[in-house]
């Protein structure tokens, strides 16, 4: 490779392309399902669960996470800046050129990135997501607050010598996810956001 800076630019471009692969759309399309015409129209795991069932939805979420984890891992291995490369993958997921720059919300991809970069804060964020989802039923609220907690988790885990690039990457990803959830935030404020059908099945199982 040429230099760490050049490596980072090249890998960030590749990370963006990897992140832009519309996994949920492709899985749904292979099954004859038009996922963008169902529910929220999103291609991420939550709407995939609604459109394809829990199994395929979870599988979509895992693949979306890998879209962030693998580029970040490659960048770390090649001594590039994994935070920048991971953020590029999240950017690609949210603004996919294959879907006219209208992709997913970026939560699973962000968690994939930080499970590589800072595993313990990422695991804490996943725990926060689970708790908020189970207590409120709002996927959007759980997603926004869990990703927002990453920055604090990284800062605490870093102690007296925080790595600025990872903090900046966490802040950048949080901003992207806030932007992707702007309509959800409006509905939450207005009291019009719908609770997850999966949450309703958990707490109100059918007889």
Q: pLDDT tens digit string along 119-143?
A: 999 999 999 999 999 999 999 999 9
Report the pLDDT value the prediction gives residue 39, as an integer from 0 to 100.
85
In the chain, where the domains are located: 4-203
- Give the chain's count of helices (H) and strands (E): 11, 0
Residue 164: alpha-carbon gap to chain centroid:
21
16 vs 182: CA distance, rounded Å: 22
Spatial CA neighbour of 121 closest among 153, 143, 145: 153
Q: What integer is the mean pLDDT of 57-66? A: 96
The percentage of the chain sitting over the pLDDT mark of 70, rounded to a whole number, equals 96
Q: How many CB atoms lie within 10 A of CB 169?
A: 29
**pTM for the model:** 0.92
70 and 46 Cβ atoms separated by less than 8 Å: no
């Amino acid at each position: 490779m040429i230099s760490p800076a050049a490596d980072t630019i090249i890998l960030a471009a590749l990370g963006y392309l990897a992140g832009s692969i519309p996994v949920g759309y492709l899985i749904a399309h292979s099954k004859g399902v038009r996922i963008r015409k169902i529910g929220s129209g999103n291609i991420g795991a939550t709407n995939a669960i609604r459109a394809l069932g829990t199994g395929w939805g979870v599988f979509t979420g895992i693949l979306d996470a890998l879209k962030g984890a693998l580029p970040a891992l490659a960048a770390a291995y090649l001594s590039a800046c994994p935070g920048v490369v991971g953020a590029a993958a999240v950017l690609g997921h949210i603004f996919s050129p294959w879907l006219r720059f209208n992709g997913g919300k970026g939560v699973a991809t962000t968690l994939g990135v930080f499970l590589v970069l800072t595993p313990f804060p990422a695991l804490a964020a996943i725990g926060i997501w689970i708790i908020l989802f189970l207590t409120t039923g709002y996927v959007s609220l759980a997603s926004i607050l869990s990703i927002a907690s990453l920055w604090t988790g990284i800062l605490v885990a870093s102690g007296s010598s925080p790595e600025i690039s990872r903090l900046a990457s966490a802040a950048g990803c949080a901003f992207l996810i806030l932007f992707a959830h702007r309509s959800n935030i409006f509905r939450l404020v207005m009291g019009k956001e719908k609770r997850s059908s999966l949450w309703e099945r958990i707490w109100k199982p059918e007889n």
